[in-house]
Amino acid sequence: MLNVQVAGPGCSNCAKLEAKVKEALLRLGIEATLTKITDFKAIAASGVLMTPGLLINGKVVSQGKIPDDATLEKILKEASGS
């Protein structure tokens, strides 16, 4: 199971990224835990320099933008091994 985290202070882009990730996970049928990192120190410690950030299993896979649907699906498929 994937551990997916959205890092950001709670801005609208962070909420959009979280919603897109939820939709993509459902569409692809990938099991994952999805959590948010909103504490600035925790965001910095995670390696995210620009929000919104996306981490999968502790690795930063996107930051400073909202990936388009195709890119997001590719990232999730590669991370899940499917």
Query: Under 8 Å CB-to-CB from 55, ≥6 apart: which residues?
Result: 4, 5, 7, 37, 46, 47, 48, 61
Q: Catalytic residues, which ones?
A: 11, 14
Question: Quick one: how far is CA 72 from the chain centroid?
Answer: 9
